[in-house]
Structure formats: C-alpha cells, structure tokens
Amino acid sequence: MALVFLISLAAVVITFLGLLELLYSGLVLKPERLRSALRKQGIRGPGPSLLLGNISEIRKSQSTTVKASTNEPPVIHNCAATLFPFFEQWRKQYGPVFVFSLGSTQILYVSQADVVREITTCTSLEFGKPSYQQKELGPLLGQGILTSNGKVWARQRKILAPELYTDKVKVTSLTPFIMFALNKSRFIRYLLQRWSGRSNLGLQGMMSLITESTTVLLSSWKSRIEKEGGVAEIKIDEGMRSFSGDVISRACFGSNYSKGAEIFLRLSALQVAMSKKSLSIGIPGMRYMPTKKNREEWALEKDVRNLILEIVKERKETAHEKDLLQMVLESAENSNLGQDAMDRFIVDNCKNIYLAGYETTAVSATWCLMLLAANKEWQDRVRAEVLEVCGSGCIPDADMLRKMKLLNMVIHESLRLYPPVAVVSRETFKDMKFGDIIVPKGLNVWTMVVTLHTDPEVWGPDAYRFNPYRFAKGITGACKFPHLYMPFGVGPRVCLGQNLAIVELKILIALVLSEFSFSLSPKYVHSPALRLVIEPERGVDLLIKML
Ligand code: HEM
C-alpha cells in the first residue's frame, strides 16, 4: 500500500515538474517571446520543431533533401556541408544570422565576421555556457570549469590557468589574437609571474611524459608490423585515445597514474552511458525520471568520486607531487572552501580536465595522420624536416619543436579542416547587444567553428582543400579574418590546454614520421561524424611500415 502511494506520489511530482518546466523554460511561452524579439529585428529562421532534441535529429530529418558529400576525397572535402547540410541551406535562405530550435531551446546561429568577433571576445559574466548543457552534462562534469558560469567559473579558471596555460607547455607561438589578449591582461601576467616562482613538472617534464606515452604506442605498432610481415593494417583511433588518456593520466596524477587510468576508464563508461540519451533536451520532465541509465550514471559517478578522493587522502599522508592534482589541491586548500565544497571542487575539476583534453587531442591526432596518409607529398616534406631538425632516433626537445615550421603548418591546417569542437555555444543571462543585434535574455548563441573554418569568403576558393602552405605566414597570413580561426575557441574561455595539446600533437607526429611511413588503407571510408567531437565514424585505417 505504502509502495503504491510512494509510486503515485513520485508520478505526480514528475508530472508537476514537467508541467512547471513546460511553462517556465517552456515549449510555448519562452520560445515565442525570443523569436518575436528577433523577428522585430528582421532575424528569421526555420519554424520551431518540438520533436528535434539534438543536432543529429535535425540531420536525420533533413538528410532526405540534402545529399551528404562524403564521397569527396579527404584532402578536398567540405566537412561542414557533410555534417550540417541544413545549416548551409538555412544560411542561403535566411542569411548569416538566423534562429532555429533544438526542442524547446532557441538558438541564434551567427556566422557574420564582426558579430562573431563581439560574441567570442565578450567578457561579461552574464554571457556563459548554456544552462541546458549544465543540466545534461551534470553527472559527467559536475560544477567544473567546462560548464560553470559567473564567479564559480572565474575562480576555477584562476586556479587552473597557471598550471596549464603557461610557458610550461608553451613551445609554439600562440595565435596573434590570443597573444594580444595575454599581453593586455595584467591579471594573466600576474598569474604567470606567480607561477614562475613555483617548482613543478616544467616543460621538459611534460615533454618527457608525452614522449613516454608516444613510445608505448609506437612499440605496439612495431610489434604489429613485425608480426604482419613488414606492413600492418592498423585502425589508429584506439591507439590515439590511449595515447591521449595516458598523457592526461600522467599529467594529472603523477605517480598515482595507474589509479588515474582506472578513474578515466570509469569516466569513459559514464560518457558512453550519457551519450545514449536522446531527445532529452526536448522533453520536459524527462530528466527527473530515475531511468536505468541514470542509475548506471550515479554508480559510475560515485566510483569516480571515491577513487579521486582516495588519491587525495594518500597524498595528504605522503610527500607532495608536482602534478595537476597537487596544484588543484593546494589551490583548493588555500581558498577557504569548506570540506564538502573542496572535495567537490577537486573531483569536478579532475573530471573536467580529463574530458576536455582526452578525445579532443586524440581525434586531432587521428585526423592529422589521416591527412598526411592521404597526402604523401606533405608526409615526405614534414618527415624531411623532422629528420633534419632532430636526426633519426632522436627525442625532440622544446627548441627542436619550435623549429619544425612545416609540422606546425600541417597541424594548423588539420585543425582548420577537422576542428574537434564543432560549435562554440553560449547563453545570454540578460539582454545583450552584439553588433546591431539585441539578443534577448535566455537565447543560446552558436558560433559554428567548422563552417567558419571552411568559408571560401574567409579562406579563398581552395577553402576545402588540404593546403598547409596557407599558414606559411602564420594565421594572419592565412585568411581574411584571423579571429575566425578558432580550433581552441577565442576570448575569455579560450582552451586552457591548447599549449599542452599542440606539444602532444607535435611530439606524437614527429616521432611517428621519424620511424614509419604510412598510407590510407583501401578499407578507409571517409566518414566525419559529430559525437561529442567531430570524429571519423568508421575510424581511420592505415597501412603502416617501418622506414
Ligand atoms: C586539440 C585538442 C583540443 C581542442 C581542439 C580543444 C578545444 C577547446 C575549445 C574550442 C574550448 C572552448 C570552448 C568554448 O569556448 O566553449 C576549450 C576549452 C577548454 N579546454 Fe580544450 N581543447 C583541446 C585540448 C585540451 C586539453 C589537452 C586540455 C587540458 C588538459 C583542455 C582543457 C580545456 C579547458 C579546461 C577548457 C575550458 C576553459 C574555460 O571554460 O574557461 N583542452 N577547448
């Protein structure tokens, strides 16, 4: 009897919450208010659809009318048109700024250069990560830096920035735009000075751990090649993932690295469990349902939390390490947070760093090797540079990496054509103005990185072609509006791990080129797909042999 009563009560509460949400965030009231504010300014877009809950739903609903172009060779391929044919169509129909819906969420799509500049550099704390992301990604990210906003975000960034965004991992020149922002920021200069007084892992330490992780991967390739008689056919995706996970585990957890690996395995499982959810943005009340998947998520989340806190406890009893966890720990201890808040801060930020840096770096390496495999001429050119700068069998140091200009150009070009993060999204928490557009409170604003990266008006008629030479004179020389090149985002929320990621990519690719030659296997099917990042849906199969 009591059970029936409890179940009925739960059903009533869920229905009530659903109805509340329906009215408040609303399928009816709020979307209409936002759309009419935009209509008054001449901004139009496709009619709202209640059914579409995420971007792949739109893709499915549109793909009957627009043909995807995956038959193009990978070195001359319009990735944006393949992934988002509907955006290309709507851009033609409604212009560079239009509004569309994902379920009950209203989104302003912006690809007009001057408006994009204002959006990406806006420093207001009232313009932040969309609230739906926080709700959707809660179990995965908690209240860490990736989805938090306002003062909570600012405090986390202040703590994490000195560890990641410094000379420690900076060997490549930052984009002129970011350099400008850095030079202007007294705050960041102060952080850099504070950091330089600390003793920590250091650039050389970071480089050796990346080299170690690369060596593990390449040894596995060597044994496959030997076993398979001189040429191995390898799907490289998993290898790139374990390389990237390995680097982050070591950087975050130092000698507790093997426990770190365990944590990351569970986080990956959590990510998979969450990616199975569909339509949840669109259906009010659904997120309150205790479904089987939710229970799985809760269990994994709890495991991750316990494992991280176990390491923290061990740390307190033993000598201090010089890794990211130690930095987060020290900063949290100095920040007057209560025990619970401190634990949450540590757990959430470990999860955030892992999730921010794992797949993004892995998939960038995969695309870059795919492009070099498809373009033998560039593979030979970059290899010649690597061998000239490092000699064979040599481990690159910071100075050598700096000298590898062609390698740098190839990495930039690969991140241009296949930027892992396809969209940079924000929400307005008050009415705001960008260019001539008054953006009402509660609207999501999307900057489509992948579309801006291949717009012929910005990059010229060969925008879809793999041509690293366009970066010979840096980013400013490569296109008409350098601020539209943003694989790592731009402005106050620019990627904190970009220097680390570039060093990882440079070391990995330099070592691969110095030992192996490779081409695309006949099995390879060019299949960019949007999951959390833009990734090759059917993987990248390479034929690899020793030099
Ligand atoms: C090629 C690899 C990577 C790419 C393409 C990439 C891309 C990005 C982008 C586009 C953003 C900004 C998102 C936005 O503005 O909404 C971002 C943010 C961030 N990234 Fe990365 N990332 C990469 C690697 C890494 C690594 C290795 C780490 C750390 C180990 C990292 C840590 C972060 C963090 C903490 C943020 C949040 C910054 C904030 O919100 O203040 N990323 N990343």
- The model's pLDDT over 452-479, given as tens digits with 9 standing for 90+, comes to 999 999 999 999 999 999 999 999 999 9
- Which structure tokens are listed for 396? 């690159």
To test the pocket of ligand 1, the residue of 147, 250, 354, 495 to mutate (highest count of ligand atoms within 8 Å of its CB) is 495
Q: pLDDT digit string (tens) for 221-270?
A: 999 999 999 999 999 999 999 999 889 888 877 766 777 778 888 887 88
> Given the DSSP bridges, would you call strands 444-448 and 105-110 parallel, antiparallel or unpaired?
parallel
Choose among 41, 56, 35: nearest CA to 105: 35
Q: pLDDT digit string (tens) for 174-221?
A: 333 333 343 344 444 433 333 333 334 567 778 888 998 999 999 999
**CA-based torsion, 295, 301, 303, 306: positive or negative:** negative
Interatomic CA distance for residues 132 and 75, integer angstroms: 36
Dmax (CA) of the chain: 80
Q: Which residues of 496-515 are buried (b: 16+ CB within 10 A; e: fewer)?
A: bbbbbbbbbbbbbbbbbbbb
Give pLDDT, residue 1: 65
Interatomic CA distance for residues 389 and 118, integer angstroms: 41
Please name the residue whose Cα sits nearest to atom 29 of ligand 1.
Answer: 497
Fold of 41-546: Cytochrome p450 (1.10.630)
Please name the residue whose Cα sits nearest to atom 37 of ligand 1.
Answer: 146
Ligand 1, closest atom to CA 153? 41
Strand partners, 424: 447
Instruction: Output the CA 497–ligand 1 centroid distance in Å.
Output: 6
**CA-based torsion, 75, 80, 85, 88: positive or negative:** negative
Q: Is the pLDDT of residue 498 over 70?
A: yes
Q: Where do the domains of the chain lie?
A: 41-546
Ligand 1, closest atom to CA 502? 1
Please name the residue whose Cα sits nearest to atom 2 of ligand 1.
Answer: 361
Please name the residue whose Cα sits nearest to atom 6 of ligand 1.
Answer: 488
Q: How confident is the model at residue 425 (pLDDT cuts 50, 70, 90)?
A: very high
Instruction: Output the CA 141–ligand 1 centroid distance in Å.
Output: 14
Residue 133 and residue 147 in contact, taking contact as beta carbons nearer than 8 Å:
yes
For ligand 1, residues with CB inside 6 Å are 145-146, 157, 164, 248, 352-353, 356-357, 360-361, 364, 420-421, 424, 487-489, 493, 495-497, 500-501
Cβ-defined contacts of 180-183 (< 8 Å, 24+):
181/121, 181/491, 181/494
Interatomic CA distance for residues 22 and 32, integer angstroms: 13
Instruction: Output the CA 383–ligand 1 centroid distance in Å.
Output: 28
Instruction: Output the CA 524–ligand 1 centroid distance in Å.
Output: 29
**% the chain with pLDDT above 90:** 46
Least confident of 238-252, 318-332, 486-500: 318-332
Ligand 1, closest atom to CA 505? 1
Choose among 426, 268, 275: nearest CA to 355: 268
Ligand 1, closest atom to CA 426? 16
> Is 368 annotated among the ligand-binding residues?
no
Instruction: Output the CA 389–ligand 1 centroid distance in Å.
Output: 29
The more confident residue out of 245 and 8 is 245
Please name the residue whose Cα sits nearest to atom 27 of ligand 1.
Answer: 357
- Which structure tokens are listed for 381? 């050119």
Q: Is 426 helix (H, G, I), strand (E, B) or coil?
A: strand
Least confident of 45-54, 101-110, 281-290: 281-290
Please name the residue whose Cα sits nearest to atom 39 of ligand 1.
Answer: 493
Question: Which stretches does DSSP call E strand in 271-420?
Answer: none
Interatomic CA distance for residues 88 and 103, integer angstroms: 20
Instruction: Output the CA 152–ligand 1 centroid distance in Å.
Output: 18
Interatomic CA distance for residues 206 and 228, integer angstroms: 34
What mean pLDDT do residues 324-351 have?
81
Least confident of 40-49, 272-281, 378-387: 272-281
In sequence order, the 6+-apart residues with CB closer than 8 A to the CB of 258 are none
Q: How confident is the model at residue 173 (pLDDT cuts 50, 70, 90)?
A: very low
Q: Is the pLDDT of residue 284 over 50?
A: no
Angle in degrees, 0-180, between the axes of helices 324-333 and 150-164, rounded to the nearest 10:
130
Ligand 1, closest atom to CA 486? 10
Residue with tokens 């659809």: 49
Give pLDDT, residue 321: 66
Instruction: Output the CA 68–ligand 1 centroid distance in Å.
Output: 29
- Which structure tokens are listed for 143? 């209240």
To test the pocket of ligand 1, the residue of 498, 507, 508 to mutate (highest count of ligand atoms within 8 Å of its CB) is 498
Instruction: Name the pTM for this structure.
Output: 0.86
Ligand 1, closest atom to CA 251? 30
Residue 40 main-chain phi, psi, to 5 deg: -60, -25
Interatomic CA distance for residues 76 and 140, integer angstroms: 36
Ligand 1, closest atom to CA 358? 27
Interatomic CA distance for residues 443 and 428, integer angstroms: 6
Please name the residue whose Cα sits nearest to atom 36 of ligand 1.
Answer: 495
| ipTM confidence | 0.99
Interatomic CA distance for residues 171 and 503, integer angstroms: 7
Instruction: Output the CA 374–ligand 1 centroid distance in Å.
Output: 27
Q: pLDDT digit string (tens) for 51-103?
A: 666 776 666 666 544 444 456 678 888 888 888 888 888 999 999 999 998 88
Instruction: Output the CA 355–ligand 1 centroid distance in Å.
Output: 9
Give pLDDT, residue 185: 42
